[in-house]
Structure formats: structure tokens, C-alpha cells
């Protein structure tokens, strides 16, 4: 079945460092790919998405490119801030038999940014 694999955390960085969180997927067909972010004590929020190969999703300085040839959707940010400390989830949309879509999540990567 379809699945998502993320790098294990926690990832600890100093403020203004470059961030990469790796995400690879296994899927039949061409799913949409997502990054969701979970700040402490809150629910998940959509950070960015890409719907087809070579699409780049971007938001709040974060970027991720849908790479079909490497089945990857790595999250990057050029200069992280303390406020970016959160758990980041990579996900793909999985088409079900009833034509609904389900999100399949990776296990999440905790990012801690130190001042």
C-alpha cells in the first residue's frame, strides 16, 4: 500500500540555520503531497502542498518540490526561527474505492530551533 517515510527527529538547529526534513513516499498513481505542521498544544495546519510532479509548494519561507523520479518531497527553509519549532508531518492523499481521499501521514519530525 501507499506509505510515507520521514527522517527521524528531533532535529535541533540554531536560529538562522538551513533546514531540510527528508520525506519519501511509496504510491501507485500520482497522489498529491502535503506538509502539515503541529505547534505545541495545537492541531495540525496545512503548511504547503503540491499536486503533480515538479510542482513546488511554498509558504512562510518553507518550500518542497514534488520529485517523481526520486519519490521525494523534502521540506526546506533557508533560515529557521525559534517560532518554527514544531512537529512536521509529510503526507500523501490516497484515493479510496468510494472516491474519497484519505491522508496517509509519516511519523512526524520534531524540529527544535535554539536562539
Partner 1 sequence: EAQVTQNPRYLITVTGKKLTVTCSQNMNHEYMSWYRQDPGLGLRQIYYSMNVEVTDKGDVPEGYKVSRKEKRNFPLILESPSPNQTSLYFCASSFRRQGANEKLFFGSGTQLSVL
Q: Which helix (H) or strand (E) holds 87?
A: strand 86-95
User: Which of 13, 17, 103, 112 lies at the binding interface for partner 1 (CB under 8 A)?
Assistant: 103
Cell numbers found for residue 97: 474505492
In whole angstroms, the minimum distance from the beta carbon of 80 to partner 1 comes to: 22
Per CB under 8 A, does 41 bind partner 1?
yes
**Shortest Å distance, C-beta 31 to partner 1:** 8
* Least gap, CB of 96 to partner 1 (angstroms): 8
Helix intervals (H) in 5-69: none
- The residue among 20, 17, 22 whose CA lies nearest residue 6 is 22
Kindly indicate which of the ranges 22-30, 56-64, 70-78, 102-110 contains the residues binding partner 1, using the contact rule CB under 8 A: 102-110
Cα(20)–Cα(38) distance, rounded to whole angstroms?
A: 17
- The answer to whether residues 84 and 13 touch, using CB atoms and an 8 Å cutoff, is no
Which residues here bind partner 1, judged by CB under 8 A? 4, 32, 36, 41-46, 49, 89, 93, 95, 98-103, 105-108
Amino acid at each position: 500500500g501507499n506509505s510515507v517515510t520521514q527522517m527521524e527527529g528531533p532535529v535541533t538547529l540554531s536560529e538562522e540555520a538551513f533546514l531540510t526534513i527528508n520525506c519519501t513516499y511509496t504510491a501507485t498513481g500520482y497522489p498529491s503531497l502535503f506538509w502539515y505542521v503541529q505547534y505545541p498544544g495545537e492541531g495540525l495546519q496545512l503548511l504547503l502542498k503540491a499536486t503533480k510532479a515538479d510542482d513546488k509548494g511554498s509558504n512562510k519561507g518553507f518550500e518542497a518540490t514534488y520529485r517523481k523520479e526520486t519519490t521525494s518531497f523534502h521540506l526546506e527553509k533557508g533560515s529557521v526561527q525559534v517560532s518554527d519549532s514544531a512537529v512536521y508531518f509529510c503526507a500523501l492523499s490516497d484515493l479510496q474505492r468510494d472516491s474519497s481521499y484519505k491522508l496517509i501521514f509519516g511519523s512526524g519530525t520534531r524540529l527544535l530551533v535554539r536562539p
